[in-house]
Structure 1
Amino acid sequence: MSMIHGGHDDPDAAPALMVGRVEEWQPGYVDSHLHLKHQLMFATQGVLHVATASNEWILPPSRAIWITSNTLHSVRLKKPALANVLYIQPDALTAPDLGECFVLDASPLVKELITTCTQFAWDYPLDSRQARLAQVLLDQLSEVGQTPVSLPLPTDERALAVANAVKTDPGGRLPLTDIAKKNDTSARTVERLFASETGLSFGAWRQRLRLIVGLELLAYGTPVATVAAEIGYSTSSAFVAAFRDMFGVTPARYFS
């Protein structure tokens, strides 16, 4: 990972209300870590995978992710990515209450504000134009829509083993009974654990995984027909309908 812009090595130590930098990532894995400040990341190129102990999020271009201060998280990349990253003082500004992490729709105004705030020097005063623009950005974040691209993970070892098995083959059609047996448990146990630990039935969780994988493939420019086939849909129209049910718009609209 390399820093493209920024006046300091450690954004947590910067005195300004909100500071930022452009970061360039190569394929790989950034180990679990935390920041003393809130983070707001907006991928301008590529796709970021952000994970905590209990959940995973995917960040395609045109969306931003909020990471609350002191949230232990990791980042994974399959291909190179470029992102604007902001670090926000948790006790200096009124920040939106979005839980530990959440992916947000980035309106043109929010995108422009993120880009602008990323370029600020890291020592501007509280009563400056920069501080006022930072506050405008936070005000805008409380108004934008939230995108359901998280994948909650079970904590029980049996259910987590099943989840990891399905993640290796999201388009597979093996029934739960067989997957559970391969992982030394039962379908009934898996269903119970998924319902209690993720809030989703196993079937709903599996469908969400497929659509999140589909979202990632689309973000890399894979044609809809190819995506549908790779994640287990018999037709493109079936995939588009499921995508619209989950994300509220068609794939074309999502990335517009």
Structure 2
Amino acid sequence: MSITRHDNPPRDPDPDNAYAPVVGRLEQWLPEEAAPHRHRRHQLMCAANGVIHVTTDLGEWVLPATRAIWVSSGTEHATQVKRPTHTRVLYIDPDAYDMPKEGYCLVVAMTPLMREVMTACAGFPWDYAENTPQSRLARVLIDQVTALDHSPVDLPFPTDPRATRLAKILRSDPANRLPLEVLAKQVGASPRTIERLFSHEAGMSFGNWRHRQRLLTAMEYLAYGESVTNVALNVGYESASSFVAAFKAVFGSTPARYFKSAT
């Protein structure tokens, strides 16, 4: 990941070995994908603008500026931005707070308080002591992570090669409206097999997975300022109204309200 720093270099360049329980960085990420990696510490990251993609073995998370993601310690993950994006990235000592420690990702809604607390924590020195204003604000951060709404902005991946090929087809063309019978034939499987694979490996029916894929692609376009009407058509909906209804059913609010929730 190409990075431009906006803060002073920390005393310890490795956040996993920092003294303070919560340390962070304010960065600009240039368009690139970072190879899979893991940290001893938990991570909490969000975009100030644009979209961050986070991928693990279990699936992909799409994060507009209204959402942050908690990646628990030891979780292998890759990150990607497709346009220059200002980010806040925090690293949390897994021994300091009672949070899940492995194989766990959690997306939380960003409120104005959460955004300001993340920004403040990212600017702390990396050696602040206990029982200081910095340590108390770090505790507020953890309380916010556990209290805020969790959002279904993940896309679980199937693992069978046939289902994986089909998922790749739809991810490259979210407006694809071919029926399952045709798509299954393209990957050498029956419709019943595809349904079974998505249900068992992705935890949802093929239809629901396809629906989620369209909406997450739409979320990225909306985050970059595309109109609702254009986005709806680009991801395969017949009208803006049908898209807005589908978006609200999954994410709990209209696109306009969803992207204003952190302002």
TM-score band by shorter chain is over 0.9
Normalising to structure 1: TM-score of the pair? Answer: 0.97
2:248 matches 1:244: yes
Equivalent residues in 2 for 1:211-226, closer than 5 Å: 211-226=215-230
Coordinate RMSD, CA, aligned: 1.4
Structure 1: where are the runs of 5+ without partners? none
**Residues 48-197 of structure 1 correspond to what in structure 2 (within 5 A)?**
48-95=52-99, 100-197=104-201
Which consecutive residues of structure 2, in runs of 5 or more, have no partner in the other structure?
none
* Aligned partners of 2:42 and 2:101 also within 8 Å: no
- Matched residues in 1 for 2:31 and 2:101: separation? 31
Q: Say if 1:40 and 1:64, in contact at 8 Å, map to a contact too.
A: yes
Q: Is the CA contact 1:96–1:138 (under 8 Å) kept in the aligned structure 2?
A: no
Aligned to 1:234: 238
Equivalent AA in structure 1 for residue 227 of structure 2: P
Question: Could you report, residue by residue, the CA deviation over 1:190-223 in whole angstroms, capped at 9, with x for unpaired residues?
Answer: 1010011111110110000000001110001000
What is the TM-score normalised by the length of structure 2?
A: 0.94
* Post-superposition offset of 1:13: 1.2
Q: Is the 8 A contact 2:74 2:101 kept in 1?
A: no
Match of 1:24 in 2: 28
Contact 2:22-2:121 within 8 A present in 1 as well: yes
Q: Which amino acid aligns with 1:151?
A: L
CA contact 1:225–1:236 (8 Å) conserved in 2: yes
Residue 250 of structure 1: CA displacement? 0.2
In 2, Cα distance between the equivalents of 1:86 and 1:246? 28
Which residue of the partner structure matches residue 6 of structure 2? 4
**Cα distance in 2 between the residues matched to 1:172 and 1:72:** 31
Counterpart AA for 1:53: D
Question: Using the alignment, how far apart are the partners of 2:227 and 2:208 within structure 1?
Answer: 24
Runs of 4+ residues deviating >3 angstroms:
95-99
Percent identity of the aligned residues?
48
- How far apart are residue 165 of structure 1 and its match? 1.1
Separation in structure 1 between the aligned mates of residue 206 and residue 144 of structure 2, nearest angstrom: 36
